[in-house]
Structure 1
């Protein structure tokens, strides 16, 4: 299941494990990322909290947790080369995996059609 937040994160759920990153739309709008701060393994996050920071020359993009859970994996390739996010934001540019506490909290997230309409309405990423 692929879902999107109104802050331009995506989440791909497999059981209670979510792969999380930022959308292609956000990566294009932000410009080339030059640094990435990702959460540490074992970090407990709450929905809506800042969990990562991607910085380009024009924007500091705060990545918010789309759900409550524990960080169980971090994409160290993105830390080494933040521009991976720009090259493949919804693929190899993923940021971290989260073990979700309550999948019911994901019910408010958008599906792909709703996210497309959201971005068509001009909802740009914020710093």
Structure 2
């Protein structure tokens, strides 16, 4: 079998490139280099960058402070992707600079939803019930 068939996820190289791209984009956005009224004054968190195996495309997961219910910030970032790519090329040295695609990071909403589920009284009751049984098992071992 080929090496790619054994791989469980992105290679260490892809993760390292993604992290370098994430840091570069974060720095550019933090400095306020993008001259767009939809982005100006908005704090944007770049949570993750996933780079394609050929290093030609990168999906940038962002979360604007306060959310982006109408998609204004992500549209502005995608509109300015070529500028960000050019600025990034000054900091990240690669043979090919990946094309950037910005999307909202839904993982924050997903984590909040899971937290709400875990705080549900019915789930707490079941968790407490499991803890009581775990204590019973540890008492039997002694």
TM-score (norm 2): 0.27
Using CA pairs below 8 Å that are at least 6 residues apart, which structure has the higher relative contact order? 1
Give 1 or 2: higher strand fraction: 1
TM norm structure 1: 0.29
Larger radius of gyration: 2
